Chain A
C-alpha cells in the first residue's frame, strides 16, 4: 500500500470515529451543556395545539439572555405560544410549579409577553422569567403553562344550554381551574414473599369535574365571563336528572347527570362510569332536553309506512323553535297556529343541513351515519329511501339547487327559473305536481328561504318573519292537497349575528327546532 493511500484510509477512519463520537455526544448531552432527564413541560388550555415538551429540540428559536449576571439559553414565551396557537390574544397565562406554587400574568396582546422567556437548566428545571412583570411572577420548576381566554365564545369549549336558554360556556382553560383529581382504578395485583402478601393498585389519574362543580363555581363568580346569559338556576338540583351530551364528531348520548367531565389538554371529554365509555371533545350539554329529536323522522315514517300510510315530510330549513314561537305569537304563521302545537325537538351536532338531513333520513346521529359537518355527505348507513325501495314503496325528494347528501334515490333539483329570488316557489310547484301524480308513498319537500332570509337578515327579523308567513301558506296548500300524514320539522335553527344570522353552534337557537306530525285533510 502506498504512503498516500495509507494516509487517506487513516484519515477516513479517524473522520468516521470522530463523527460517531460527536453524534453520540449530541444525544447524551443537551445543548445547554446539561445531561440526563428533562421533565415534561405541558402547555394546555384554550389552544389549537396542546404541547408536551420533553426535549430541547422542539424549537430552533433558542437565544441567549443576560440574566442576573449570567448568560442563559432561553426561548421567548411568544415563540412557544406561536406553536400552541391560543384561540384568543386576550388571556390569563398561568405558570404552575411542581411544588404547587403558581403565578398568572394578564395579557391582551403579544406585546405584553415580549419580555417573557422560558429557560431550562438542571438546577431550576423549566423556569419562566418575566422581565416586564413583577418578580414574583417568575416561577421555577414549572411543569405546566395554562392559557385561559378571558372572553368566552360560543363556538369554543363546552356549552351548557336548556331548550330556551344558553346557560354557560366554559373553556378547557377555565375548566382546568376547577378540576379535581379522580383516581380511576386500573387494576390491583399482589405478590407474596417473606411470609407477607404485598398488594398494589394502579390508577389512571384524571382531571375531572361534574356539572355540579361548574354551577357551584359560576355561582361564586370565580370564573370571569364563563356565563353567556344570567338567570340560570343556582345549582343542578334546579334541573331534571336527564341530559343530552353532544360530541364534536356527531356523538349523541341521552343520559343522566351521574357522569363526569375530564380535562384533556385543550378539550373536554365526557366519561360515563357505568357504561365505561368516553365521548371525546364534548361540544355541549342540553339540560332538561325535550324527548323528541329530528331523528324521530326516520322512525315515525317507517312506522307509518309499515301501516300502509302515506307520509309527506316538510323540511323548513333554518327554522328554530324560538322562531316558530315568535311567528305564532306575532301572527306570522296562521296555518301553523291552527295545528296542534309543535313539540320541541333536538337537532344534532353540528347543527347544519348535512348533519340534520342525515339524522332525519337515517334515524341516527352523525357518529353513526358518518355525516356531522358540512364537509361530509356520504352516509355510512342506509337511509329511509333505501328502506322504502326495499318495501316496494315509491319516494321522491324535492330539493333546491344542491343535493346536500348522497341518497339511494336521485334528488329532484330545481333552480330559480322565474328569477323570483327564491327557489321555494319552484319547489312548491314540483311538490304539488308530485302529489297530483298520486304515485308516491313518501314525498320529502325541502324549503330553503327561511334559512336564506335568516342568514341575510337575522332569525327574528321582519324579513324572515315574512318569509315564514309565505312558507306557512305553502304548507297550508300542501296539506290541502295531500292525503296522509304530514311531518313538519327543521334540520337546524338560526341565531342572530352582527351580519344577520348563522348556525352550527351548540346553542338553543340552533339546536332546538319544532316538530309537528298530523293528519292532512285534503280540501274537497
Chain B
C-alpha cells in the first residue's frame, strides 16, 4: 500500500476516533446522573420512628406496575387527563404485610418539605391513591430536572390535584 494511502486512512481513523470520543464524553454525564437517580430513588415507610419498608424502583416493578388515569389540574393550567403508570398504594402496603386498618392516618412527605395527610379510609378507597413513576409513558423526572418524581403520590379523586405529592420520599403511618 502506498504511503499516501496509509496517511489518508490513518487521518480518517483519527478523526472518527476523536468524534466518538467527544460524544462518549458528552453522554457520560447523563449515564452518571441516571445511576445516581436510581440509587437515590427510595421511599421510606415508617411508623413511630420504626422503619417498616424501604421501596425502590425495582421493588415497585416487581410488585406490579399498572396504568391508571387521573386529571392534573394546576394553578396555571386547565385540568388535563393523563395516563400514569404506578401502583395502588394499599396494594403496595399489603405486599409488605402492612394492614392500613391498624392506622388512622398516612402522612406523605416530599423532598421539598411538602407534607400531606390522608385518612386510612382514603387509602383503602378503590382506585384513589397511587404511587406513580411515569406519566404518559415517560419517567416523571426529578426536582432538579424540573420533573415531579421519581415518585409522585397521585390522588385520583382529588379534583383539583391539591393533595398530590411530588418528589415523594416518605410515608409515615400513624
Interface set of A (CB-CB < 8 Å, partner B):
373-375, 377-378, 401-403, 405-407, 411, 413-417, 504
Q: Using Cβ atoms and an 8 Å threshold, which residues of chain B touch A416? A: 119
What per-residue 1/0 map shows which CB atoms of B98-136 lie under 8 Å from chain A?
A: 000000110100001111111100100000000000000
Contact of B104 among A374, A378, A417 (CB under 8 A): A417
Picked from B75, B114, B162, the residue with its CB within 8 Å of the CB of A403 is: B114
Given known A-B contacts A413-B107, A417-B104, A377 and B116 have beta carbons under 8 A apart: no
Contacts A415-B118, A417-B119 known; 19 new A-B pairs at CB < 8 A: A374-B75, A378-B112, A401-B117, A401-B118, A402-B115, A402-B163, A403-B114, A403-B115, A403-B116, A405-B113, A406-B113, A406-B114, A413-B105, A413-B107, A413-B115, A413-B116, A414-B117, A416-B119, A504-B75
Q: Please name the 3 residue pairs, one residue from A and one from B, whose CB atoms are nearest each other, closest first.
A: A406-B113, A403-B115, A413-B117
Roughly how many angstroms separate A378 CA and B113 CA in the complex, as a whole number? Answer: 7
- Using a Cβ cutoff of 8 Å, how many contacts connect chains A and B? 44
- For this complex, 17 residue pairs linking A to B, each with C-beta atoms less than 8 Å apart, are A378-B113, A401-B117, A401-B118, A402-B115, A402-B117, A402-B162, A403-B113, A403-B114, A405-B113, A413-B107, A413-B115, A415-B118, A415-B119, A415-B122, A417-B104, A417-B119, A504-B75
Q: Kindly list chain A residues whose C-beta atoms are within 8 Å of the C-beta of B122.
A: 415
| Contact status of A402 and B116, CB under 8 A, knowing A415-B105, A417-B104 | yes
Task: Give the complex CA separation of A406 and B109 in angstroms.
Answer: 11
Q: Which residue in B104, B107, B114 is a CB contact (below 8 Å) of A377?
A: B114
B residues less than 8 Å from A504 (CB atoms): 75
How far, in angstroms, from A377 to B112 measured CA to CA in the complex? Answer: 7
For residue B112, which residues in chain A have a CB less than 8 angstroms away from its CB? 377-378, 406
Number of residues in B with C-beta < 8 Å to the partner? 15
Write the residues of chain B forming the contact surface with A, with a CB cutoff of 8 angstroms.
Answer: 75, 104-105, 107, 112-119, 122, 162-163
Residues of chain A contacted by B118 (CB below 8 angstroms): 401, 415
Residues of A within 8 A of B119 (CB): 415-417
**Which residue of chain A has the shortest Cβ distance to B121 in the bound complex?**
A419
**B75 / chain A contacts, CB cutoff of 8 Å:** 373-375, 504
User: Which chain A positions have C-beta within 8 A of B105?
Assistant: 413, 415
B107: chain A residues at CB < 8 Å are 413
In angstroms, how far is the closest chain B Cβ from the Cβ of A237?
39
Shortest distance in angstroms between B117's beta carbon and chain A's nearest beta carbon? Answer: 4
Chain A residues near B117: list those with CB within 8 A: 401-402, 413-415
CB distance from A153 to the nearest CB of B (A): 15
Shortest CB-to-CB span from A112 to chain B, Å, is: 26
Query: A362 to chain B: closest CB distance in Å?
Result: 14
In Å, the complex CA distance between A157 and B57 comes to 46
Which of B75, B104, B115, B118 has most chain A Cβ within 10 Å? B115
B50 to chain A, nearest CB (A): 17
Complex Cα distance, B115 from A407, in Å, reads 11
In the bound complex, CA of A405 to CA of B110 (Å): 11
Most chain B beta-carbon neighbours within 10 Å: one of A373, A377, A414: A377
Return the chain A residue nearest B114 by Cβ. Answer: A377
- Output the nearest chain B residue to A350 by Cβ-Cβ distance: B75
Q: Shortest Cβ distance from B34 into chain A, in angstroms?
A: 25
- What's the Cα separation between A405 and B105 when bound, in Å? 20
Nearest CB of chain A from residue B48's CB, rounded to whole Å: 14
Q: Give the CA-CA distance A406 to B167 in the complex, in Å.
A: 14
A377–B113 CB distance below 8 A:
yes
Q: Which residue of B lies closest to A401 (CB)?
A: B117
Q: A374-B75, A402-B163 are in contact. Are A411 and B104 (CB under 8 A)?
A: no
Closest residue of chain A to B118, judged by CB? A415
Residue of B nearest to A504 (CB): B75
B114: A residues at CB distance < 8 A: 377, 402-403, 406
Residues of B within 8 Å of A375, CB to CB, are 75
Return A231 CB to nearest CB of chain B, in Å: 32
Cα distance A151–B104 in the bound complex, in angstroms: 51
C-alpha spacing A400/B162, complex, angstroms = 13
A411–B116 Cα gap in the complex (Å)? 10
Residues of B within 8 Å of A403, CB to CB, are 113-116
| Bound Cα distance A342, B124 (Å) | 45
Docked pose: A374 CA to B115 CA in angstroms: 14
- Looking across the interface, which residue of chain B has its beta carbon closest to that of A416? B119
Residues of B within 8 A of A373 (CB): 75
Q: Smallest CB–CB gap between B37 and chain A, Å? A: 21
CA distance A405 to B116 in the complex (A): 11
